[in-house]
Protein backbone atom coordinates (compact mmCIF):
# COMPACT_ATOMS: atom_id res chain seq x y z
CA UNK A 1 0.00 0.00 0.00
CA UNK A 2 1.43 3.37 -0.92
CA UNK A 3 0.54 6.98 -1.59
CA UNK A 4 2.19 9.97 -3.15
CA UNK A 5 4.15 12.33 -0.89
CA UNK A 6 3.27 15.97 -1.53
CA UNK A 7 6.42 17.38 0.05
CA UNK A 8 10.03 17.95 -0.91
CA UNK A 9 11.64 19.25 2.43
CA UNK A 10 13.92 17.03 6.56
CA UNK A 11 18.62 15.19 5.06
CA UNK A 12 19.48 14.86 6.77
CA UNK A 13 16.46 15.09 6.68
CA UNK A 14 17.87 16.85 3.47
CA UNK A 15 15.80 16.36 0.32
CA UNK A 16 17.38 17.26 -2.91
CA UNK A 17 16.05 18.94 -5.97
CA UNK A 18 17.29 19.27 -9.48
CA UNK A 19 18.88 22.51 -10.61
CA UNK A 20 16.51 23.26 -13.44
CA UNK A 21 13.02 22.99 -11.99
CA UNK A 22 13.26 21.95 -8.40
CA UNK A 23 14.65 23.44 -5.16
CA UNK A 24 18.43 23.27 -4.67
CA UNK A 25 20.18 20.28 -3.19
CA UNK A 26 20.53 20.64 0.56
CA UNK A 27 24.14 19.50 0.24
CA UNK A 28 24.92 22.48 -2.01
CA UNK A 29 23.62 25.15 0.31
CA UNK A 30 26.21 27.53 1.82
CA UNK A 31 27.94 25.72 4.70
CA UNK A 32 27.90 26.83 8.28
CA UNK A 33 31.44 26.64 9.66
CA UNK A 34 32.19 29.19 12.33
CA UNK A 35 35.62 27.64 12.83
CA UNK A 36 36.73 29.16 9.53
CA UNK A 37 36.46 32.70 10.93
CA UNK A 38 39.66 34.71 11.25
CA UNK A 39 40.28 35.90 14.79
CA UNK A 40 40.32 39.59 13.86
CA UNK A 41 37.81 39.47 11.00
CA UNK A 42 35.06 41.09 13.07
CA UNK A 43 31.49 39.85 13.47
CA UNK A 44 30.26 37.62 10.67
CA UNK A 45 27.01 38.62 8.96
CA UNK A 46 23.94 36.46 8.74
CA UNK A 47 23.46 35.58 5.09
CA UNK A 48 20.25 34.32 3.53
CA UNK A 49 20.08 32.93 0.00
CA UNK A 50 16.78 32.60 -1.87
CA UNK A 51 16.36 30.00 -4.61
CA UNK A 52 13.68 29.77 -7.29
CA UNK A 53 13.58 26.98 -9.84
CA UNK A 54 16.93 25.74 -8.57
CA UNK A 55 18.66 29.07 -9.26
CA UNK A 56 19.35 32.16 -7.10
CA UNK A 57 16.41 34.58 -7.06
CA UNK A 58 17.11 38.28 -7.56
CA UNK A 59 15.16 41.11 -5.94
CA UNK A 60 13.51 39.29 -3.04
CA UNK A 61 12.78 41.50 -0.02
CA UNK A 62 14.56 40.37 3.15
CA UNK A 63 14.00 41.99 6.57
CA UNK A 64 16.34 41.72 9.54
CA UNK A 65 14.77 42.02 13.00
CA UNK A 66 16.11 42.03 16.53
CA UNK A 67 15.16 39.47 19.19
CA UNK A 68 11.95 41.38 20.00
CA UNK A 69 10.89 41.42 16.35
CA UNK A 70 11.61 45.11 15.74
CA UNK A 71 12.89 45.85 12.22
CA UNK A 72 16.62 46.61 12.01
CA UNK A 73 16.65 47.10 8.27
CA UNK A 74 15.85 45.45 4.96
CA UNK A 75 17.43 44.80 1.58
CA UNK A 76 16.78 42.85 -1.59
CA UNK A 77 18.65 39.78 -2.75
CA UNK A 78 21.44 40.36 -5.27
CA UNK A 79 22.25 38.41 -8.43
CA UNK A 80 23.54 35.56 -6.26
CA UNK A 81 20.19 35.44 -4.48
CA UNK A 82 21.74 36.64 -1.22
CA UNK A 83 21.15 39.36 1.35
CA UNK A 84 23.23 39.78 4.48
CA UNK A 85 23.61 41.92 7.57
CA UNK A 86 25.64 41.90 10.75
CA UNK A 87 23.22 41.28 13.63
CA UNK A 88 23.55 40.17 17.23
CA UNK A 89 22.88 36.62 18.37
CA UNK A 90 19.17 35.92 18.83
CA UNK A 91 18.03 38.17 15.97
CA UNK A 92 15.53 37.20 13.29
CA UNK A 93 15.47 37.14 9.49
CA UNK A 94 12.29 37.22 7.37
CA UNK A 95 11.96 36.67 3.64
CA UNK A 96 8.97 37.93 1.63
CA UNK A 97 8.10 35.59 -1.25
CA UNK A 98 5.73 36.02 -4.16
CA UNK A 99 4.51 39.02 -6.12
CA UNK A 100 1.95 41.41 -4.61
CA UNK A 101 -1.27 41.22 -6.56
CA UNK A 102 -0.69 37.60 -7.57
CA UNK A 103 -3.18 36.24 -5.02
CA UNK A 104 -0.66 34.01 -3.28
CA UNK A 105 2.18 35.19 -1.04
CA UNK A 106 4.48 33.58 1.52
CA UNK A 107 6.88 34.54 4.29
CA UNK A 108 9.72 32.55 5.83
CA UNK A 109 11.24 33.58 9.18
CA UNK A 110 14.23 32.27 11.09
CA UNK A 111 14.06 33.00 14.83
CA UNK A 112 17.19 33.06 17.00
CA UNK A 113 19.86 33.34 14.29
CA UNK A 114 23.57 33.58 15.07
CA UNK A 115 26.44 35.50 13.42
CA UNK A 116 27.82 33.42 10.57
CA UNK A 117 24.57 31.62 9.79
CA UNK A 118 24.26 30.74 6.10
CA UNK A 119 20.50 30.36 5.73
CA UNK A 120 18.51 29.38 2.67
CA UNK A 121 14.91 29.71 1.54
CA UNK A 122 13.22 28.05 -1.41
CA UNK A 123 10.51 30.16 -3.01
CA UNK A 124 7.40 27.92 -2.88
CA UNK A 125 6.27 29.40 -6.19
CA UNK A 126 9.25 27.61 -7.77
CA UNK A 127 8.19 24.13 -6.75
CA UNK A 128 7.46 22.71 -10.15
CA UNK A 129 7.12 19.25 -11.58
CA UNK A 130 8.81 17.57 -14.49
CA UNK A 131 8.00 14.35 -16.30
CA UNK A 132 9.76 11.32 -17.70
CA UNK A 133 8.59 8.90 -20.37
CA UNK A 134 9.44 5.21 -20.19
CA UNK A 135 9.88 3.87 -23.73
CA UNK A 136 11.24 0.34 -23.22
CA UNK A 137 11.45 -2.43 -20.60
CA UNK A 138 13.93 -5.30 -20.31
CA UNK A 139 13.03 -8.36 -22.40
CA UNK A 140 11.64 -11.53 -20.91
CA UNK A 141 9.36 -10.45 -18.05
CA UNK A 142 7.73 -13.28 -16.05
CA UNK A 143 5.02 -15.01 -18.12
CA UNK A 144 2.47 -14.39 -15.35
CA UNK A 145 3.03 -10.63 -15.42
CA UNK A 146 -0.13 -8.86 -16.51
CA UNK A 147 0.97 -5.27 -15.95
CA UNK A 148 3.80 -3.13 -14.64
CA UNK A 149 4.21 -0.25 -12.20
CA UNK A 150 7.02 2.29 -12.56
CA UNK A 151 8.27 4.43 -9.65
CA UNK A 152 10.70 7.28 -9.28
CA UNK A 153 10.62 7.43 -5.51
CA UNK A 154 7.06 8.31 -4.51
CA UNK A 155 6.11 9.30 -8.06
CA UNK A 156 4.65 6.40 -9.97
CA UNK A 157 2.53 5.34 -12.89
CA UNK A 158 0.61 2.28 -14.01
CA UNK A 159 2.15 0.86 -17.19
CA UNK A 160 -0.41 -1.09 -19.22
CA UNK A 161 1.64 -0.38 -22.36
CA UNK A 162 4.57 1.67 -23.62
CA UNK A 163 5.37 4.50 -23.82
CA UNK A 164 4.25 5.55 -20.34
CA UNK A 165 4.77 9.00 -18.80
CA UNK A 166 5.05 9.82 -15.11
CA UNK A 167 5.11 13.19 -13.38
CA UNK A 168 8.14 13.94 -11.19
CA UNK A 169 7.39 16.21 -8.25
CA UNK A 170 10.25 17.86 -6.32
CA UNK A 171 10.73 15.03 -3.84
CA UNK A 172 11.21 12.51 -6.66
CA UNK A 173 14.42 14.01 -8.06
CA UNK A 174 17.72 13.89 -6.21
CA UNK A 175 20.94 15.91 -6.24
CA UNK A 176 22.12 17.13 -9.62
CA UNK A 177 18.81 16.32 -11.29
CA UNK A 178 19.38 12.55 -10.98
CA UNK A 179 16.54 10.19 -10.15
CA UNK A 180 16.01 6.42 -9.82
CA UNK A 181 13.50 4.24 -11.65
CA UNK A 182 12.08 1.01 -10.19
CA UNK A 183 9.69 -1.07 -12.31
CA UNK A 184 7.62 -3.84 -10.71
CA UNK A 185 6.05 -6.71 -12.66
CA UNK A 186 2.66 -7.58 -11.22
CA UNK A 187 0.29 -10.52 -11.67
CA UNK A 188 -3.47 -10.40 -11.54
CA UNK A 189 -3.73 -12.06 -8.13
CA UNK A 190 -0.20 -11.73 -6.72
CA UNK A 191 0.08 -9.64 -3.57
CA UNK A 192 3.80 -9.14 -4.10
CA UNK A 193 5.88 -8.35 -7.15
CA UNK A 194 6.71 -11.18 -9.52
CA UNK A 195 9.94 -9.45 -10.57
CA UNK A 196 11.58 -6.05 -10.75
CA UNK A 197 14.06 -4.06 -12.81
CA UNK A 198 15.69 -0.72 -12.11
CA UNK A 199 18.04 1.99 -13.27
CA UNK A 200 19.65 4.67 -11.09
CA UNK A 201 21.33 7.98 -11.85
CA UNK A 202 18.87 8.86 -14.59
CA UNK A 203 19.31 12.50 -15.62
CA UNK A 204 16.37 14.87 -15.75
CA UNK A 205 16.50 16.86 -18.97
CA UNK A 206 16.73 20.67 -18.58
CA UNK A 207 13.52 22.51 -19.46
CA UNK A 208 14.97 23.73 -22.76
CA UNK A 209 16.25 20.29 -23.81
CA UNK A 210 12.93 18.59 -24.45
CA UNK A 211 11.33 15.60 -22.74
CA UNK A 212 13.14 13.16 -20.47
CA UNK A 213 12.94 9.64 -21.90
CA UNK A 214 14.07 6.35 -20.39
CA UNK A 215 14.77 3.01 -22.01
CA UNK A 216 15.20 0.43 -19.27
CA UNK A 217 17.67 -2.32 -20.14
CA UNK A 218 19.23 -5.03 -18.01
CA UNK A 219 17.45 -8.05 -16.59
CA UNK A 220 14.43 -8.79 -14.48
CA UNK A 221 15.16 -10.03 -10.96
CA UNK A 222 12.80 -12.38 -9.15
CA UNK A 223 14.72 -12.25 -5.85
CA UNK A 224 12.19 -10.23 -3.84
CA UNK A 225 12.96 -10.12 -0.12
CA UNK A 226 11.07 -9.19 3.03
CA UNK A 227 11.69 -6.39 5.53
CA UNK A 228 9.88 -6.47 8.86
CA UNK A 229 9.23 -3.50 11.14
CA UNK A 230 8.32 -4.26 14.73
CA UNK A 231 6.91 -1.54 17.00
CA UNK A 232 7.37 -2.07 20.73
CA UNK A 233 6.10 -0.15 23.75
CA UNK A 234 3.06 1.16 21.87
CA UNK A 235 1.46 3.99 23.90
CA UNK A 236 -1.83 3.00 25.47
CA UNK A 237 -3.30 6.28 24.25
CA UNK A 238 -2.51 5.57 20.60
CA UNK A 239 -5.41 5.85 18.19
CA UNK A 240 -3.61 4.05 15.35
CA UNK A 241 -0.10 2.91 14.49
CA UNK A 242 1.38 2.84 10.98
CA UNK A 243 4.71 1.60 9.66
CA UNK A 244 6.55 2.73 6.54
CA UNK A 245 9.54 1.24 4.75
CA UNK A 246 11.55 3.27 2.26
CA UNK A 247 14.19 2.11 -0.21
CA UNK A 248 16.40 5.13 -0.91
CA UNK A 249 18.29 5.58 -4.19
CA UNK A 250 19.68 8.88 -5.49
CA UNK A 251 18.48 10.26 -2.12
CA UNK A 252 14.89 9.58 -3.25
CA UNK A 253 12.69 7.14 -1.36
CA UNK A 254 10.33 4.52 -2.73
CA UNK A 255 8.08 4.04 0.31
CA UNK A 256 5.67 1.26 1.18
CA UNK A 257 3.05 1.74 3.89
CA UNK A 258 1.31 -0.62 6.27
CA UNK A 259 -2.41 -0.44 6.91
CA UNK A 260 -3.29 1.51 10.08
CA UNK A 261 -3.43 -0.79 13.08
CA UNK A 262 -5.36 -0.32 16.30
CA UNK A 263 -5.37 -2.29 19.56
CA UNK A 264 -4.89 -5.21 20.06
CA UNK A 265 -2.88 -5.43 16.80
CA UNK A 266 -1.10 -2.07 17.01
CA UNK A 267 2.21 -3.68 17.92
CA UNK A 268 2.07 -6.48 15.35
CA UNK A 269 5.06 -6.56 12.93
CA UNK A 270 4.54 -5.12 9.44
CA UNK A 271 6.14 -6.71 6.37
CA UNK A 272 7.36 -5.05 3.18
CA UNK A 273 9.11 -6.03 -0.04
CA UNK A 274 12.82 -5.47 -0.59
CA UNK A 275 14.43 -5.25 -4.02
CA UNK A 276 18.10 -6.23 -3.58
CA UNK A 277 20.54 -4.11 -5.54
CA UNK A 278 18.19 -1.18 -5.89
CA UNK A 279 18.49 0.68 -2.58
CA UNK A 280 21.53 2.64 -1.41
CA UNK A 281 19.99 2.67 2.07
CA UNK A 282 16.68 1.80 3.69
CA UNK A 283 14.54 3.72 6.14
CA UNK A 284 12.11 2.30 8.68
CA UNK A 285 9.44 4.44 10.32
CA UNK A 286 6.68 3.93 12.83
CA UNK A 287 4.22 6.73 13.45
CA UNK A 288 1.43 7.02 15.97
CA UNK A 289 -1.76 9.03 15.58
CA UNK A 290 -3.41 10.17 18.80
CA UNK A 291 -7.07 11.11 19.26
CA UNK A 292 -7.61 14.88 19.45
CA UNK A 293 -11.30 14.97 20.30
CA UNK A 294 -12.23 16.67 17.02
CA UNK A 295 -12.13 15.95 13.31
CA UNK A 296 -10.27 19.07 12.25
CA UNK A 297 -6.89 18.53 13.93
CA UNK A 298 -4.29 15.76 13.86
CA UNK A 299 -1.74 14.80 16.54
CA UNK A 300 1.10 12.53 15.38
CA UNK A 301 4.51 11.37 16.61
CA UNK A 302 7.03 9.39 14.55
CA UNK A 303 10.44 7.73 14.73
CA UNK A 304 12.48 6.84 11.63
CA UNK A 305 15.84 5.09 11.30
CA UNK A 306 18.08 4.87 8.24
CA UNK A 307 20.39 1.85 7.83
CA UNK A 308 22.32 -0.03 5.14
CA UNK A 309 20.17 -2.08 2.75
CA UNK A 310 19.81 -5.80 3.40
CA UNK A 311 21.21 -8.49 1.13
CA UNK A 312 17.69 -9.86 0.91
CA UNK A 313 15.66 -9.93 4.14
CA UNK A 314 15.95 -7.72 7.21
CA UNK A 315 14.12 -6.15 10.09
CA UNK A 316 13.95 -3.10 12.33
CA UNK A 317 12.59 -2.72 15.84
CA UNK A 318 11.40 0.75 16.84
CA UNK A 319 10.83 1.53 20.49
CA UNK A 320 7.87 3.88 20.77
CA UNK A 321 8.81 4.63 24.37
CA UNK A 322 11.32 7.00 22.72
CA UNK A 323 8.66 9.12 21.02
CA UNK A 324 8.92 12.85 21.63
CA UNK A 325 6.26 14.30 23.94
CA UNK A 326 3.09 15.05 22.03
CA UNK A 327 2.04 18.49 20.84
CA UNK A 328 -1.54 18.52 22.06
CA UNK A 329 -2.96 21.74 20.60
CA UNK A 330 -2.13 24.83 18.56
CA UNK A 331 -3.84 28.13 17.78
CA UNK A 332 -3.23 31.51 16.14
CA UNK A 333 -4.16 34.85 17.74
CA UNK A 334 -4.85 37.52 15.10
CA UNK A 335 -6.65 39.81 17.56
CA UNK A 336 -4.23 40.94 20.27
CA UNK A 337 -1.69 42.46 17.84
CA UNK A 338 -3.18 42.27 14.31
CA UNK A 339 0.01 43.03 12.32
CA UNK A 340 1.93 40.50 14.39
CA UNK A 341 -0.08 37.32 15.09
CA UNK A 342 1.01 34.91 17.80
CA UNK A 343 1.05 31.15 17.33
CA UNK A 344 0.84 29.13 20.55
CA UNK A 345 0.98 25.41 21.17
CA UNK A 346 0.67 23.02 24.09
CA UNK A 347 2.83 19.98 24.75
CA UNK A 348 2.48 16.90 26.92
CA UNK A 349 6.06 17.33 28.16
CA UNK A 350 9.16 19.44 27.59
CA UNK A 351 10.59 19.52 24.06
CA UNK A 352 13.42 21.87 25.00
CA UNK A 353 16.13 19.28 24.31
CA UNK A 354 14.98 18.68 20.72
CA UNK A 355 16.64 20.39 17.74
CA UNK A 356 13.96 22.87 16.73
CA UNK A 357 10.40 23.51 15.68
CA UNK A 358 8.75 24.42 12.38
CA UNK A 359 5.57 26.50 12.51
CA UNK A 360 3.24 27.26 9.63
CA UNK A 361 -0.05 29.14 9.49
CA UNK A 362 -2.17 30.70 6.79
CA UNK A 363 -4.69 33.46 6.39
CA UNK A 364 -6.72 35.26 3.74
CA UNK A 365 -5.78 38.92 3.42
CA UNK A 366 -8.95 40.98 3.02
CA UNK A 367 -9.27 44.25 1.15
CA UNK A 368 -11.48 47.14 2.20
CA UNK A 369 -15.00 45.91 1.66
CA UNK A 370 -14.14 42.34 2.59
CA UNK A 371 -12.93 41.02 -0.77
CA UNK A 372 -10.04 38.56 -0.66
CA UNK A 373 -6.73 40.10 -1.73
CA UNK A 374 -4.37 37.16 -1.23
CA UNK A 375 -3.84 33.85 0.53
CA UNK A 376 -0.68 34.16 2.63
CA UNK A 377 1.36 31.46 4.34
CA UNK A 378 3.89 32.28 7.07
CA UNK A 379 6.47 29.65 7.99
CA UNK A 380 8.87 30.03 10.90
CA UNK A 381 11.85 28.10 12.24
CA UNK A 382 12.11 28.49 16.03
CA UNK A 383 14.04 26.92 18.94
CA UNK A 384 12.48 23.77 20.38
CA UNK A 385 12.17 25.35 23.82
CA UNK A 386 9.49 27.75 22.51
CA UNK A 387 5.78 27.11 23.04
CA UNK A 388 4.71 30.25 21.20
CA UNK A 389 6.06 32.63 18.62
CA UNK A 390 5.04 36.27 18.12
CA UNK A 391 5.86 36.93 14.48
CA UNK A 392 8.24 39.85 13.87
CA UNK A 393 7.30 43.25 12.52
CA UNK A 394 7.74 43.85 8.80
CA UNK A 395 9.13 46.97 7.09
CA UNK A 396 6.76 49.42 5.36
CA UNK A 397 7.70 48.10 1.92
CA UNK A 398 6.32 44.70 2.97
CA UNK A 399 2.77 45.98 3.49
CA UNK A 400 1.34 43.38 1.07
CA UNK A 401 2.61 40.62 3.40
CA UNK A 402 1.65 42.31 6.68
CA UNK A 403 -1.49 40.77 8.23
CA UNK A 404 -4.38 43.20 7.81
CA UNK A 405 -8.05 42.33 7.89
CA UNK A 406 -6.91 38.72 8.17
CA UNK A 407 -9.33 35.83 7.92
CA UNK A 408 -7.66 32.81 9.62
CA UNK A 409 -7.10 29.87 7.33
CA UNK A 410 -7.53 27.12 9.92
CA UNK A 411 -5.30 25.71 12.66
CA UNK A 412 -1.53 26.08 12.38
CA UNK A 413 0.88 23.21 11.86
CA UNK A 414 3.62 22.80 14.49
CA UNK A 415 6.40 20.21 14.00
CA UNK A 416 9.24 19.61 16.47
CA UNK A 417 12.23 17.60 15.23
CA UNK A 418 15.10 15.87 17.04
CA UNK A 419 18.10 13.98 15.67
CA UNK A 420 19.76 16.68 13.53
CA UNK A 421 22.50 17.70 16.02
CA UNK A 422 21.03 20.89 17.42
CA UNK A 423 19.29 24.10 16.44
CA UNK A 424 22.29 25.61 14.64
CA UNK A 425 22.45 22.59 12.33
CA UNK A 426 18.71 22.57 11.82
CA UNK A 427 18.62 26.30 10.94
CA UNK A 428 21.26 25.83 8.31
CA UNK A 429 19.47 22.83 6.81
CA UNK A 430 15.96 24.20 6.98
CA UNK A 431 15.57 24.88 3.26
CA UNK A 432 16.11 21.14 2.71
CA UNK A 433 13.24 20.26 5.00
CA UNK A 434 9.61 19.91 3.95
CA UNK A 435 7.29 22.86 4.52
CA UNK A 436 5.40 22.10 7.77
CA UNK A 437 2.00 22.66 6.20
CA UNK A 438 2.72 19.75 3.85
CA UNK A 439 3.77 17.26 6.51
CA UNK A 440 0.30 16.22 7.68
CA UNK A 441 -0.76 13.34 5.47
CA UNK A 442 -3.07 10.41 5.89
CA UNK A 443 -0.68 7.59 6.86
CA UNK A 444 2.85 8.91 6.47
CA UNK A 445 5.72 8.52 6.10
CA UNK A 446 6.26 11.72 8.02
CA UNK A 447 10.06 11.67 8.11
CA UNK A 448 11.47 12.23 4.59
CA UNK A 449 14.56 10.30 3.48
CA UNK A 450 17.53 10.88 5.75
CA UNK A 451 20.93 11.64 4.23
CA UNK A 452 22.95 9.51 6.59
CA UNK A 453 22.40 6.55 8.88
CA UNK A 454 20.77 7.53 12.14
CA UNK A 455 17.45 8.17 13.84
CA UNK A 456 15.13 11.17 13.72
CA UNK A 457 12.08 11.76 15.88
CA UNK A 458 9.30 14.25 15.27
CA UNK A 459 6.05 15.25 16.86
CA UNK A 460 3.43 17.36 15.11
CA UNK A 461 0.04 18.95 15.47
CA UNK A 462 -1.90 20.34 12.56
CA UNK A 463 -5.02 20.22 10.42
CA UNK A 464 -6.35 16.80 9.54
CA UNK A 465 -5.57 15.66 5.99
CA UNK A 466 -8.37 16.27 3.55
Q: How do residues 225-251 score in pLDDT, each as one tens digit?
A: 999 999 999 998 888 899 999 999 999
Same-domain pairing of 171 and 301: no
- Residues 150, 300: Cα–Cα separation, whole Å: 30
Identify the band that residue 26 occupies on the pLDDT scale cut at 50, 70 and 90. very low
Same-domain pairing of 251 and 267: yes
pLDDT at residue 42, rounded to an integer: 72
In which domain, by residue range, is 443 found?
A: 26-126+325-463
- What pTM does this model have? 0.86
Residue 261 belongs to domain with CATH number: 2.60.40
Same-domain pairing of 115 and 162: no
Determine, yes or no, domain membership for 2.
no
**Over the range 138-157, which residues count as b (16 or more CB within 10 Å of their CB) and which as e?**
beeeeeebeebbbbbbbbbb
Determine, yes or no, domain membership for 8.
no
What's the distance, Cα to Cα, between the start and end of the chain in Å?
19
Q: How do residues 377-413 score in pLDDT, each as one tens digit?
A: 999 999 999 999 999 999 999 999 999 888 888 889 9
Sign of CA dihedral 42, 422, 414, 245: positive
Mean pLDDT value across the chain: 84
- Residues 463, 301: Cα–Cα separation, whole Å: 14
Same-domain pairing of 211 and 92: no
The torsion angle over the Cα atoms of residues 113, 115, 116 and 120, rounded to 10 degrees, is 30
Q: What's the domain count of the chain?
A: 3
Residues in the chain, overall count: 466
Same-domain pairing of 229 and 318: yes
Amino acid sequence: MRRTWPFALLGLIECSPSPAQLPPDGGQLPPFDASATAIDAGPLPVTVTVFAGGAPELGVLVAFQDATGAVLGSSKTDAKGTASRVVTAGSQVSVMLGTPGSGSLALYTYVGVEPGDALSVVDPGSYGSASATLTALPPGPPPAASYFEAYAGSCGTYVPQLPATMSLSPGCVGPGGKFPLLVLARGITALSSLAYAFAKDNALAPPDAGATTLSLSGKWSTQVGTWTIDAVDVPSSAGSVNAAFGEIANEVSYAQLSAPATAPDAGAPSSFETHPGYADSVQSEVNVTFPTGNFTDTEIAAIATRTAPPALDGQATIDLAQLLPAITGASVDFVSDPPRPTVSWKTAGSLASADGTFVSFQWVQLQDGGAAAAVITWQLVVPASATNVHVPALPPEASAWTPSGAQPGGPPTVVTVDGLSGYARLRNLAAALPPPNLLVNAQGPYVPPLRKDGTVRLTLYGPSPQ
